[in-house]
Amino acid sequence: MKQKIKIGDILVAALLLILSFIPFYFLKNHNKTNNSQIIAVIKVNNHQIKEIPLNQDTTWTYSKNGHSNTLQVKNNKIRMLEANCKDQVCVREGWKKAAGQTIVCLPHKFLVEIKQTNPTHKNKKMNFDHTLVNP
Amino acid sequence: MTNKQDLRQTVFLGILCAQGIILGIVEQSFPPIFAFAPGAKIGLTNIVTMIALLTLPFNDCIILTFLRVTLSALISGTLSTFIYAFLGAFLSLFAMKLFMIFYPRFMSIIGISIVGGIIHNLGQLIIASIVAQSWYIMLYLPVLAVMGIISGFMVGAASYYFLPYLNTFSFVKNKLFTSER
C-alpha cells in the first residue's frame, strides 16, 4: 500500500479551483449598466425588510430576538458597523459599494444585497438590439 | 459462506455509520477553525465515506450515507441542517465515485477526498443560494474551494493512515488487493 500524492490529484484540484471562479465571472458581467440609483436591499430570513439608498449617509439598526445588526452608509458605501453574532464575519467584510456585492451574516440569516434600481428594461433591450445589429 | 460475508459487511456498515455520527458530533463541538470563511468545515465525516467507498459496494455506500445523515440530523440538528448535509453528502459521494475510476493509477486517496471536500462545499452553497434566492452567494465558491482542498487533504491523509488497519477483515482484504492492481 505504498502510495504518494500523484499527478492526477494536483491536476484535478487545480482544475476544480479554476472552475470555482465561474460564478464570479458570470455574476460580475450582469451589473455593468450605469445611471441608476444604487440601493442596498436587506433581507432577514429571506423576507425583504428594508431598502436603503446609498446616496445619503445614515446608520440603521435592525434588532429582533436578541439579534442586532447595525448598518452604516457613508460616501455611497455601506458596511456592517456592528453585529452581535458570534463569528463577526459580516463586520470584517468592510465597505461595499458596487452592485452585486453582498454582506452576509449567516448566524442571523441577515443578508444585504447591493442592487441597482431601475434595471430599466429599455436599457437592456437597447443593449440587446445593439449586439444583434453589430455583433 | 457468502452469507457470513454479507453479515460481516452489514456489521461493518453499522460500525462505520456509528463512527460517522460520532465524528459529526465531535466536529460540531469544535470552534470554527476557518473563521474568515463561514460555512467551511473540516468534514471529518468524509473519512467514513472515503473508507466505505474503498471497501464496500456502492449500494452500501448510498445506504450508509443516507443513514448517517438522517440519524445525525435526528440526534443533533434541525431540518435546515439536514437539507444542507443531505445534498452536500450525496453530491460529494457521487463525485468521489465518479473520480474513483482514476483511483489506483492517476489519483490517490488524497486526491479523491479533495474532490469530495470541494463538491461538499459546492452542495452547501447551492442550498444556501436556493434558500436565500440569490445567486450572489455563489461568489463564496473560490474561498470554499480552497478550504475544501485543505480539509480534503487532511481527510485523505487520515483515511490513508487508517486503511492498513482494515486488512484484518477478509472481505476488505480482497477488495484492497483488487483495487491496488
Q: Is residue B178 part of a domain?
A: no
Report whether pLDDT(B87) > 60.
yes
A37-117 placed in CATH 2.60.320.10: yes
CB-CB neighbors (< 8 A) of A9 in chain B: 107-108, 110-111, 114
User: At CB < 8 A and 24+ separation, what contacts does B164-172 make?
Assistant: B164/A1, B166/B51, B166/B55, B169/B8, B169/B12, B169/B55, B170/B5, B170/B8, B171/B5, B171/B8, B171/B9, B171/B55, B172/B12, B172/B55
Any CB–CB contact under 8 A between B146 and chain A? yes
Which residue type sits at B177? F
Cell triple for residue B103? 483511483
* ipTM given for this complex: 0.72
Residue B123: CATH number of its domain: 1.10.1760.20
CB-CB neighbors (< 8 A) of A23 in chain B: 135, 138-139, 141
Range of the domain at B20: 3-173
Between B149 and B41, name the one with better pLDDT: B149
Report whether pLDDT(A3) > 60.
no
pTM of the model: 0.62
CB-CB neighbors (< 8 A) of A48 in chain B: none
User: Which of A64, A58, A60, A27 is closest to A45 using CA atoms?
Assistant: A64
Mean pLDDT in residue range B42-71: 88
Instruction: Please return the burial class of B171, using the count of CB atoms within 10 Å of its CB with bins 0-12, 13-18 and 19+.
Output: middle
Any CB–CB contact under 8 A between A17 and chain B? yes
Confidence of residue B172 (pLDDT cuts 50, 70, 90): low
Question: CA of B36, closest CA in chain A: separation in Å?
Answer: 6
Q: Is residue B180 part of a domain?
A: no
Residue A88: DSSP 8-state = -
Q: What is the pLDDT of residues A4-61, one digit of tens each?
A: 677 888 888 888 888 888 877 777 665 544 456 788 888 888 888 888 887 878 888 8
Q: Is residue B142 part of a domain?
A: yes
Q: Is residue B90 part of a domain?
A: yes
Q: Is residue B54 part of a domain?
A: yes
Cβ neighbours, 10 Å, residue B33: 12
Mean pLDDT in residue range B113-131: 87
CB-nearest to A100 from B38, B136, B142 is: B136
Q: Looking at A117-121, B17-21, B39-43, which range is the least confident one? A: A117-121
Q: What is the pLDDT of residues A72-99, one digit of tens each?
A: 888 888 888 888 888 888 888 888 878 7
Q: Is residue B50 part of a domain?
A: yes
Cell triple for residue B37? 470563511
d(CA A86, CA B106): 43
Q: Do A3 and B109 touch (CB under 8 A)?
A: yes
pLDDT of residue A83: 84
d(CA B84, CA B49): 17
Best of B41, B134, B179 to disrupt the A interface (most A CBs within 10 Å) is B134
Confidence of residue B34 (pLDDT cuts 50, 70, 90): low
Q: How many domains does chain B have?
A: 1
Phi-psi region of B88 (alpha: psi -120 to 50; beta: other; left: phi over 0): alpha
Those residues whose C-beta lies under 8 Å from the C-beta of residue B100, and which sit 6 or more positions away, are B53, B112
d(CA B159, CA B157): 6
Confidence of residue B175 (pLDDT cuts 50, 70, 90): low
